[in-house]
């Protein structure tokens, strides 16, 4: 998938800031797509649905306020509109059922190169009656002979769609971390947990911070005292 292109001096960019949206059955889900370098009067926005274990399939496309439905999709369920002043196109999925749970993408053609279509990053629509959750968040540092490791622990969140990045403190430059698999909770819980590690040279004299993005919100994870590694809720080991 391509996520942007250059057309002369203008660069078209499709941005889907929503990693996920969670809505109850029978409710409406709205998915937004921010567009830059785009002409709503002459260019097309396409909306695709990718159901689990299936290829993406186009639902509809829009131009100049008109909506054109593809076959097999109900115009009473899927509706699209443009907010031109906000440079945003949105798709609404109404009267939600479990069949609507999927990843939804906005897209546009490159009018200068035949056959190339550029997509947004996608938004996962979750149809569930569960409550959204985002609770415990910690960052720890662990010192060893030649390296310094940061561990970011995020616990008890729902849904399980989350993005974690590492940034050098006071800068926007990102560092590659090691993301552990999101693990499910105990049998009687309805939430998930994740840990991410970043290892750097112990003498780099730089500090790093962990940032997360989730449907509820995005923020930086607070740092615990350096040199403390919490192995369990009531057990602290000093390094």
**Could you tell me which residue, 74 or 41, shows the higher pLDDT?**
74
Which DSSP state fits 110? Answer: -
Q: Which ranges of the chain would DSSP assign to H, the alpha helix?
A: none
From CA 199, how far away is CA 48, in angstroms rounded? 39
From CA 51, how far away is CA 61, in angstroms rounded? 18
Peptide bond into 85 cis (omega under 30): no
pLDDT at position 9: 38
Whats the size of the chain, residue-wise?
239
**Nearest by Cα to 144 from 209, 203, 223:** 203
Domains of the chain and CATH, by start: 4-127 (2.60.40.10), 133-238 (2.60.40.10)
Banded pLDDT at 115 (limits 50, 70, 90)? low
pTM of the model: 0.75
Instruction: Check whether 213 has a pLDDT greater than 60.
Output: yes
Instruction: Check whether 161 has a pLDDT greater than 60.
Output: yes
Contact indicator for 12, 117 with CB cutoff of 8 Å: no
Residue 133 buriedness (CB in 10 A; 0-12 / 13-18 / 19+): middle
pLDDT at position 144: 56
**Nearest by Cα to 194 from 159, 226, 239:** 159
pLDDT at position 201: 78
Instruction: Check whether 235 has a pLDDT greater than 50.
Output: no
Q: Are strands 20-23 and 123-127 parallel, antiparallel or unpaired?
A: parallel
**Could you tell me which residue, 111 or 153, shows the higher pLDDT?**
153
What percent of the chain lies above the pLDDT cut of 70? 77
Contact indicator for 2, 119 with CB cutoff of 8 Å: yes
Instruction: For residue 216, report the phi and psi dihedrals to the nearest 5 degrees.
Output: -70, -45
Instruction: Check whether 6 has a pLDDT greater than 50.
Output: no
7-64 pLDDT, tens digit per residue, is 443 578 899 999 999 999 999 999 999 998 888 888 889 999 999 999 999 999 999 8
The CB-based long-range contact list for 98-101 (8 Å cut-off, 24+ gap) reads 98/25, 98/127, 99/51, 100/29, 100/125, 100/127, 101/51, 101/52, 101/125, 101/126, 101/127
164-212 pLDDT, tens digit per residue, is 888 887 776 667 777 777 777 665 567 888 888 888 877 777 778 888 8
Q: Which residues share a beta bridge with 32?
A: 90
pLDDT at position 88: 93
- Return the SS3 of 42: coil
**Could you tell me which residue, 194 or 90, shows the higher pLDDT?**
90
Q: Which residues share a beta bridge with 143?
A: 148
- Return the SS3 of 17: coil
**Nearest by Cα to 143 from 235, 228, 222, 210:** 228
Most confident region among 35-44, 98-107, 112-121 by mean pLDDT: 98-107
pLDDT at position 112: 66
């Amino acid at each position: 998938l391509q996520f942007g292109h250059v057309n002369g001096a203008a660069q078209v960019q499709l941005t889907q800031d929503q990693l996920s949206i969670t809505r109850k059955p029978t409710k409406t889900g709205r998915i937004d797509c921010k567009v830059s370098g785009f002409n709503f009067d002459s260019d097309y926005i396409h909306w695709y649905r990718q159901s689990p274990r299936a290829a993406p399939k186009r639902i509809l496309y829009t131009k100049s306020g008109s909506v054109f439905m593809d076959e097999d999709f109900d115009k009473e369920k899927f509706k699209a509109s443009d907010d031109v002043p906000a440079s945003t196109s949105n798709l609404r999925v109404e009267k939600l059922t479990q069949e609507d749970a999927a990843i939804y993408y906005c897209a546009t053609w490159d009018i200068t190169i035949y056959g190339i279509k550029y997509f947004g990053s996608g938004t996962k629509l979750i149809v569930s009656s569960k409550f959204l959750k985002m609770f415990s968040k910690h960052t720890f540092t662990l010192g060893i002979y030649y390296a310094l490791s940061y561990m970011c622990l995020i616990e008890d969140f729902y849904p399980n769609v989350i993005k974690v990045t590492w940034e050098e403190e006071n800068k926007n430059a990102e560092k590659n971390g090691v993301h552990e698999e999101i693990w499910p909770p105990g049998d009687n819980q309805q939430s998930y947990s994740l840990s991410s590690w970043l290892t750097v040279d112990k003498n780099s004299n730089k500090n790093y911070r962990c940032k997360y993005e989730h449907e509820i919100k995005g923020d930086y994870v607070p740092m615990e005292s350096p040199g403390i590694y919490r192995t369990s809720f009531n057990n602290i080991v000093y390094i």
